[in-house]
Structure 1
Amino acid sequence: MDVYGDGEKKMTLKQQAVSGVKWSGISMGAVTGFQFITLAVLARLLSPSDFGLMGMIMVVIGFAQAFADMGLSNAIIQRQGVEEDHLSSFFWVNVFSGIILFVCILLCRPIAVLYFKQSDLSNYLIFAAFIFLITPVGQIFTTLLRKELRFKTLSKIEITGSVVYSASTIGLALAKFEVLSLIFGQLIRSLFTVIILFFVFRESWLPRFHFSIKEIKSYLSFGAFQLGERVVNYLSANIDYIIIGRFLGPSALGFYTLAYNLMIFPLTKINPIITKVAFPAFSKVQNDNAKLRRGYCKVINYISMLSFPMIAGMLVVAPEFIRSVYGAKWEPSIIALQIFCLVGAFKSLGNPIGSILLAKGRPDIGLYWNVFVVIVLSFAVIGGANWGINGVAAAILFTQVPLFLIIQPIVNKLIDLKFSQYLNAIKLPFVCSVIMLVGISSLRIIISDIDTTMLLAISIISGGIIYLITYYMKDRMIFVELKSMLKGN
């Protein structure tokens, strides 16, 4: 099936992967930039309670989204030789499941109101549920772009979608739409994205009025594990929101959401630069452990090289960053943000694990693992909630080391990777980040009496310079690789 009319299809696997990382990086930079600016503006226009209510809404919507495509998207990516009729069947599965989820959200509103003790949630969920009538229509197109590593096109769509979201959300917030500005902004972005996807595929492939359950049966075993893993993974990622929203209220959840998003959100944008390229690339060499080992080590090296300095830097500048960018009313988020910096280090390293499990056709491991994680985190977060949002953040941090030491050896065994090889891949980014942290901290002691905003700016600039110089002195070749990647070589 020829759905790709440009030069992306003619590239080798390596060239496609390199181009994918490059364009995913461009997309990440632009999307994160727009969302950072949007969050900074909205933090001054909306209250912590508004953000907390949106967090509660997203707990409900996000849980339903885990069921959106029956786990079949990754099954399509993992399977070689998918036929056109199968794709049409997948399209209608997505549409039908979206309609079902829309109805389920409407019916389950009283449960959400009862659990969170927020009567306003009922009306907000009506509007938010419309996302399930929009997003599933474009899901198959996004999956096809990912399957063929067509990240240049996908990145352009993501960037324009972010512009639309930022403009619409800020405009609505200025018009006093409050929580609805966050909801409508997402709906507008989703509708815009679907329209663009249909435009991109208009001459190559569009779904037909064709549906056969028999055609997608063979995908369901892989998809079933994926679906189960998504649901459980969602619970493990959001159990803190669920518990804080219930026991500490919307304002506390708002402060927690800001702290979590400031550290974890950038990492969730940096990691997919590489990991969303890694899964389809790994799938194409799923039977060659030597290539998988090299690719996996390169992935975690790049991720740690990008993530670790951000984590170390934010750990130091968090107080000035919160006060200068978001305002004094968000100061209760500072300590939680600093704790999440340490959590972020483990989360960034754990992100590529899913790509390896899926590429090796072992989504079952991911499912069982995430069930275990949900159980561990549930007890930890419930215990931590007695000490507020900082207690919850600390409880999550204390679970990360043992969880990491359990899952990583399992993944290493799948691809015959020695733990020493793994540590070697992250050693230099870690050392350079520690040197940067010490350098910034020492400088801040000397200039501690200057203006807060100036202290923040000097800390960020000097930290970046220290990290780049230190890394360049230890490994100049990585900069040559990155330069080559940016050129598309």
Structure 2
Amino acid sequence: MNSPKTRVASSVGWSFLTRYSSKLIGMVNTLILARLLSPEDFGIVAMASIFINMLMAMTEAGIHLYVIRHKEDDNRIYNSAWTANLIQALVVALLMLLLAPYVADFFNQQALVEIIYCLALVRLLEGAKNIGIFIAQKQLNFRLDFKLSFYTKISSVIVTVALGFWLRSYWALVWGQVLSAIVGLVLSYTMFSYRPALSLYKWRDILRYSASTLPFSIGGFINGQADVIIVGRMATADFLGKYQMGLNLAGMFTRELMMPVVRGLLPNFAIVKETAEGKKFLAFAITGAVYVFVPLGVGLNAVAPEFVATLLGDKWLSVTPILAWFSLYTMMTGIMMFLGGQFLIVMGREKLSNRLVWMRSVILFSTIFLTLYLSDYHALPRSLFLSACVALPIVLLVVTRVLAFNLAQLLLQWIPPVLSALAMWMLIRWLPWPEWPMAIMLIVKVLAGALCYGVCVAVFYLLRGMPSDSLEAFLIRKLMPAR
């Protein structure tokens, strides 16, 4: 039988492979479409996505966490959870149909009406998916999750790219989502043996739970979409497309990478959360996130010019400063996701999680207001990074106090990755590089930065006396187990 650590490694590994294989395939899809479509096409679809994400946040039931936090395997709970997902999908789809004309008027884009009508079908299909995927995650079987995600994404990309070559319009993006939802629905019932049924078992408990997590969902939407809504309202579809492209690419290498880690850790954390190992488990996970994602965010900031020129092309060059600032912003918001997000909900601390996300919303709104008052929406990426610099210390202080963590000890563990990432940034940005083609320079700088970061982390590990309880020691034991 696997040990708990092996289960953690397996869960995170498969969840990471699921999420990031999907994201890598999606990135290839985006990069190809960026050559075929205009920033305006991406901006129009982004406007529809803003509206849909808002409805999702306002009706989010948090069913996957509800299933995970219940230790028992009860088909009645699974059926009720599937029923709640279906009801949410029906409500969202109906609201999409009713509000589509008003959304089109708000953004002054009448094409949004037909787009939203098509995406309402997507929401219905996604809501009807087999809940067996949540059961598999609860049972730490992330292999099936990977297969479902991989096959769905590959099918979607093939058709979307083909439609992009044919249509050369935003409809390629829309119909790609429709096909992805159809394939995902079919595969969810083909690959998972569980067959859900309509049920209202414990519906009051589900309703209370959903009500307790709804503020977190709405606050998360505000933190992630408030600036995009403002840009969509004030700017052109062309600028919104570039803004959204920069945000999505930055998140893909930072915040999106954290999602599979959280997804893999949550079921394991739910098992040990009430034991003495629970606090140690969470602290170790937070430190690991800093070691991995700080260099990714800082590194992407450093190579942003080469990245945009190589992968997106000349018509997207103005995305460079947007990507540079968003790489740092999404890095910091991802770390805050570890500190004050789903882990707290699994621990039963929904109120604390809600307060933290709304505190971040207040800081974000204040930042946006000051930015628009003193400048304009072009300065928002830099201002959002500054808002994260204010919010992160507050979230860190509150969480460590409530959970009785040693704040000083935790911060000391963060010093090596932060200083190593800074050294990497200085190497990439300040070293006089030859005038080689952008694609070659991107590869060279990425390799040089990775080597610099690894060497600096190793040096700090030696200078600290090779502590046995450090993340470096844990990795060495994993890679070179004692015989």
Closer/same/farther in 2, CA of residues 464 and 478 from structure 1, 3 Å limit: farther
Cα deviations by residue, 1:162-215 (Å, 9 ceiling, x for unpaired): 21222121111111152121122122222212222212222xx2113x422x52
Match of 1:136 among 119, 127, 132: 127
Tell me whether 317-326 or 138-147 shows the greater mean CA deviation.
138-147
Closer/same/farther in 2, CA of residues 96 and 341 from structure 1, 3 Å limit: closer
Answer yes or no: is 1:280 the counterpart of 2:267.
yes
Cα deviations by residue, 1:405-426 (Å, 9 ceiling, x for unpaired): 2222221123211112221332
**1:4 is matched with which residue?**
none
Closer/same/farther in 2, CA of residues 389 and 126 from structure 1, 3 Å limit: same
**1:330 is matched with which residue?**
316
Alignment of 1:217-366 (within 5 A): 217-288=204-275, 290-353=276-339, 354-366=341-353
**2:387 is matched with which residue?**
399
Contact 2:57 2:217 in 1 (8 A): yes
Structure 1 SS opposite 2:167: coil
Match of 1:170 among 153, 156, 161: 161
Closer/same/farther in 2, CA of residues 66 and 483 from structure 1, 3 Å limit: farther
Answer yes or no: is 1:431 the counterpart of 2:422.
no
Measured in 1, the distance between the counterparts of 2:286 and 2:105 equals 43
Contact 1:86 1:216 in 2 (8 A): no
Measured in 1, the distance between the counterparts of 2:19 and 2:428 equals 26
Match of 1:65 among 53, 56, 61: 56
Offset of 1:275 from its aligned partner? 0.9
The amino acid of 1:361's aligned partner reads G
Answer yes or no: is 1:468 the counterpart of 2:454.
yes
Closer/same/farther in 2, CA of residues 151 and 76 from structure 1, 3 Å limit: same
State the TM-score, normalizing by the size of structure 2: 0.91
**How much identity, in percent, do the aligned residues show?**
19
Offset of 1:262 from its aligned partner? 1.5
The amino acid of 1:186's aligned partner reads Q
Closer/same/farther in 2, CA of residues 371 and 471 from structure 1, 3 Å limit: closer
Contact 1:300 1:426 in 2 (8 A): no
Closer/same/farther in 2, CA of residues 245 and 484 from structure 1, 3 Å limit: farther
Measured in 2, the distance between the counterparts of 1:358 and 1:397 equals 26
Structure 1 SS opposite 2:229: helix
Tell me whether 331-340 or 23-32 shows the greater mean CA deviation.
23-32
User: What are the ranges of 5 or more consecutive residues in structure 2 without an aligned counterpart?
Assistant: 462-471
**2:115 is matched with which residue?**
124
Contact 1:69 1:93 in 2 (8 A): no
The amino acid of 1:306's aligned partner reads V
Answer yes or no: is 1:207 the counterpart of 2:196.
yes
Cα deviations by residue, 1:297-355 (Å, 9 ceiling, x for unpaired): 22122222221222222222111211121111112211121111221331121121213
Contact 1:336 1:389 in 2 (8 A): no
Closer/same/farther in 2, CA of residues 324 and 247 from structure 1, 3 Å limit: same
The amino acid of 2:408's aligned partner reads S
Offset of 1:33 from its aligned partner? 2.0
Contact 2:80 2:202 in 1 (8 A): yes
Measured in 2, the distance between the counterparts of 1:139 and 1:361 equals 26
Measured in 2, the distance between the counterparts of 1:157 and 1:68 equals 25
Contact 2:63 2:85 in 1 (8 A): no
Measured in 1, the distance between the counterparts of 2:171 and 2:376 equals 27
Measured in 2, the distance between the counterparts of 1:187 and 1:42 equals 17
User: What are the ranges of 5 or more consecutive residues in structure 1 without an aligned counterpart?
Assistant: 1-9
Answer yes or no: is 1:78 the counterpart of 2:69.
yes
Cα deviations by residue, 1:95-143 (Å, 9 ceiling, x for unpaired): 2321222111000112211211111111111111112211112262232
Contact 1:109 1:125 in 2 (8 A): yes
Closer/same/farther in 2, CA of residues 474 and 369 from structure 1, 3 Å limit: closer
Closer/same/farther in 2, CA of residues 97 and 27 from structure 1, 3 Å limit: closer
Measured in 2, the distance between the counterparts of 1:175 and 1:42 equals 11
Measured in 1, the distance between the counterparts of 2:25 and 2:229 equals 27
Structure 2 SS opposite 1:271: helix
The amino acid of 1:367's aligned partner reads N
The amino acid of 1:451's aligned partner reads P
**1:47 is matched with which residue?**
38
Answer yes or no: is 1:480 the counterpart of 2:476.
yes
Measured in 2, the distance between the counterparts of 1:246 and 1:482 equals 51
**2:398 is matched with which residue?**
410
Offset of 1:150 from its aligned partner? 1.7
Contact 2:332 2:388 in 1 (8 A): yes
**2:103 is matched with which residue?**
112
Contact 1:384 1:394 in 2 (8 A): no
Closer/same/farther in 2, CA of residues 160 and 274 from structure 1, 3 Å limit: same
Measured in 2, the distance between the counterparts of 1:428 and 1:273 equals 24
State the TM-score, normalizing by the size of structure 1: 0.90
**2:9 is matched with which residue?**
18
Offset of 1:468 from its aligned partner? 2.6
The amino acid of 2:398's aligned partner reads I
Measured in 2, the distance between the counterparts of 1:480 and 1:168 equals 44
Contact 1:298 1:425 in 2 (8 A): no
Structure 1 SS opposite 2:253: helix
Structure 2 SS opposite 1:300: helix
Closer/same/farther in 2, CA of residues 479 and 283 from structure 1, 3 Å limit: closer
Answer yes or no: is 1:458 the counterpart of 2:444.
yes
Closer/same/farther in 2, CA of residues 170 and 390 from structure 1, 3 Å limit: same
Contact 1:26 1:155 in 2 (8 A): yes
